[in-house]
Amino acid sequence: MPTHEDAGPTVDPSRFRGPDEPYAGHWREFPASWPSLEQQMPAGEMRVQVADALVRLPDRERAVMTLRDIEGRSAAEVCSMLDISAREQRLLLHRARAFVRARLEEYFKARQRRPDTGEELA
């Protein structure tokens, strides 16, 4: 039983060129590069962002992501634990990762606009 969370693109379609444009389906503008983690991120800041994104995930996605990316279980293990197909597992995980990545992207973008603060986001 696919729910609303299981369908649709994981990246905003407007970020890609439309079918009638040259280079259809390619990036309109590249994702901005991220600051190198070790150098420019105060310790723990990234963790806070990721943890924050995690709680905003739909339940099923959060469950799969917790098992796979935080607890480090294998895909096969997670499939059998949750009794879901490999395809469904991957779909949920992919949606969750794309969501967390997008949150981080937003965060870095905001942080770059205010390069000196870096501590807290209003």
Residue numbers at the binding site for another protein (CB under 8 A):
1, 3, 9-11, 13, 16, 23-27, 29-40, 46-47, 49-51, 54, 59-60, 62-63, 65-66, 69-72, 74-75, 81-84, 86, 90, 93-94, 97-98, 100-101, 104-105, 109, 112-113
Length of the chain as a residue count: 122
Q: CB 20 → another protein: shortest distance, Å? A: 14
Q: Note the maximum CA span of the chain.
A: 48
C-beta closer to another protein: residue 46 or 119: 46
Residue/partner pairs of 82-88 with CB below 8 Å, 24 or more apart = 88/6
How far, in Å, CA of 27 to CA of 21, rounded? 11
Q: CB 113 → another protein: shortest distance, Å? A: 7
Q: CB 88 → another protein: shortest distance, Å? A: 10
Q: CB 61 → another protein: shortest distance, Å? A: 9
C-beta closer to another protein: residue 27 or 56: 27
How far, in Å, CA of 24 to CA of 45, rounded? 37
- DSSP state at residue 8: S
For the chain, the C-alpha Rg in angstroms (whole number) is 17
